Structure 1
Amino acid sequence: MLNKMGTDTINKLLLVLVVVLAAEIFLFDGDNLFSLLFSGLLVYFGHRSYNRKAGKVMFWIGLVFLIMTIMSMAVVRFLLFLFLVLLIYNYTQSGKRSDSPSFPEGPVLTPEEPVLSSKLWGDDSTPSSYAWNDINIHGGIGDKTIDLSRTVLPDKALISIRHLIGNITIYVPYDTEIAIDHSSVIGRATIFDFEKKELWNQNIHYRTEHYGIASPGVRIVTSVFSGDIEVKRI
């Protein structure tokens, strides 16, 4: 199932589910909370045993009840109305937007400044050029992009990212050796030619042939709840 549904889609569904649950509990009586949790458990355990007939039946029954329960929630009907209002607003504003947006270059960081900062919300990426500092951050929701070709790496460097929801993309120069320890509850992994299309609460260990011998070498330690990791040569 996961190889047919992108991690970005799963992340959006998780965010929507969190917002819906919070709104239903705090704004309304939360009468549908039990039905929502029960159908969610059916979907989860059905997916775990989807290769068996009983698992397929459990999964689809749970999914149908989950959709019916969500659609019956008052907060969902309110969100649908809000979405329609935003859609109309964006349509009316689309004519006022520039067809050729400009993308200013990022600032040059000094050695005292962090390459990336810990952010609870929003995407983050390395600037156009920067002085290297080891990266040790945690994130909430959003994508992280690190381009190692825009800096001068020391012989040994460290990237450590603990993230909740979002994708991590790392661009690595061809003359750089790496070692990766990655863990994910939901997601995918693409590391050069290696690809893992489904990660369900799994760990991945990968290292290039000359890591620890040649330099520069970068150790990458990442963990995400829901998100993809992609490491590319550049």
Structure 2
Amino acid sequence: MLRNQRTDWVSWAILIAITLFLAELLLFHGGAIFFLMITVGCMYIGRKRMPKMSGTALFWFGLISFVICLFHMVTFRLFLFLFFVYIVIQFAQSKRTPIRIQPIIQEQSSQTEEALFQRTPLLQNTFFGSQKTPEHVYEWNDIDIQVGIGDTIIDLSYTVLPKGEAVVVIRHLIGNIQILVPYEVEVSIHHSVIIGSLSVFQRSETKLFNETLHFQTAGYDKAERKVKILTSMIAGALEVKRI
């Protein structure tokens, strides 16, 4: 219960911070929106041109300019102040009511403990950088990742999908996603994008703006092995093709 309450407080804090941030941009510093878009564009273009010197310089220029712009905003500094106040309050409360660790007394129970195994995910959450599945045979695990700025490549030809429905969930801020699918695997695709493009087999959309799209191969519902792809991004391209 306490954990749920803390999660609710954090969610509300983030929502209020975003609301204040947008209010300051729209009501007091409208020009800052344009400047922030330029800095994000510099980071994206610079990231695409890396490791060239021009790309590296452009990326870091955009990142530093973005941070400087944030620190010049009153709402952002207010949010940082409230965040540090919250940390101090939590620290003071932990001092007043320290956690007591007591030895655990094992008791006989009629219930059998359930075996729980931790599996290593194929891909990790990243804020900057590109990643791809191994270029050799690997064991399949469902994918559920979040990516800030970068590209993601998933090649399903190096693995054997289990019977049933395999799931790939990718949430991108800025970047491209490429998924390579064997011919014998049926596919369902749910894609949401603010600005970008899409290429799914023979279907191509070059100018997407605030779109949600769903594609499904003909034999998906009855297929023994199939993959469900759920992707969302602010800006970038999605490519799904057969190999």
- Report the TM-score when normalising by structure 2: 0.55
Tell whether the 8 Å contact from 1:11 to 1:226 is kept in structure 2 after alignment: no
SS of the residue aligned with 2:126?
coil
133, 151, 176: which one aligns with 1:167: 176
With a CA cutoff of 8 Å and minimum separation of 6, indicate the structure with the bigger relative contact order. 1
Cα displacement (A) at 1:115: 1.0
Task: Measure the CA separation in 2 of the matches of 1:193 and 1:10.
Answer: 31
Residue equivalent to 2:144: 136
**Contact 1:149/1:173 (<8 A) preserved:** yes
- 1:1-234 correspondence to structure 2 within 5 Å: 11-12=44-45, 17=62, 19-24=64-69, 26=71, 112-128=119-135, 129-155=137-163, 156-234=165-243
Distance 1:136 1:25, change over 3 A: closer
Is the 8 Å Cα contact of residues 167 and 227 (structure 1) preserved in structure 2?
Answer: yes
* RMSD (CA atoms): 2.5
Secondary structure of residue in 1 paired with 2:209? strand
Cα distance between partner residues in 1 of 2:155 and 2:199: 16
- Cα drift, residue 11 of structure 1: 3.2
Give structure 1 stretches of 5+ with no counterpart.
Answer: 1-7, 31-110
Q: 1:174 to 1:182 in 2, by over 3 A?
A: same
Kept in 2: contact 1:192–1:232 (CA 8 A): yes
State the shift of 1:13 in Å.
7.4
User: Structure 1, residues 166-186: CA drift from partner, whole Å, max 9, x if none?
Assistant: 100000000000000000011
Q: Deviations over 1:38-81 (max 9, x none)?
A: xxxxxxxxxxxxxxxxxxxxxxxxxxxxxxxxxxxxxxxxxxxx
Equivalent residues of 2:42, 2:62 under 8 A apart: no
- Given the superposition, is the C-alpha separation of residues 175 and 189 from structure 1 closer, same or farther in structure 2, using an over 3 Å criterion? same
Between the two proteins, the alignment pairs up a number of residues equal to 145
Task: Give the Å deviation of 1:212.
Answer: 1.5
Query: Aligned to 1:169, what secondary structure does the other structure show?
Result: strand
Q: Distance in 1 between matches of 2:43 and 2:186?
A: 32
In structure 2, C-alpha distance between the alignment counterparts of 1:24 and 1:158, rounded to whole Å: 39
Whether the 8 Å CA contact 1:11–1:227 is kept in 2: the answer is no
Amino acid in structure 1 at the alignment position of 2:147: G
Supply the distance in 2 between the matched residues of 1:200 and 1:144 (Cα, whole angstroms). Answer: 21
- Give the gaps of 5 or more residues in structure 2: 1-40, 48-58, 74-117
Change (3 A) 1:24 1:160: closer
The structural deviation recorded for 1:214 is 1.5
| In 1, Cα distance between equivalents of 2:154 and 2:199 | 15
Letter in 1 for 2:205: K
The DSSP-based 3-state class of the residue aligned with 1:227 is: strand
In the alignment, residue 210 of structure 1 is paired with which amino acid? G
- Give deviations 1:93-122, integer Å, cap 9, x for gaps: xxxxxxxxxxxxxxxxxx922111111111
Please give the secondary structure, in 2, of the residue aligned with 1:228.
strand
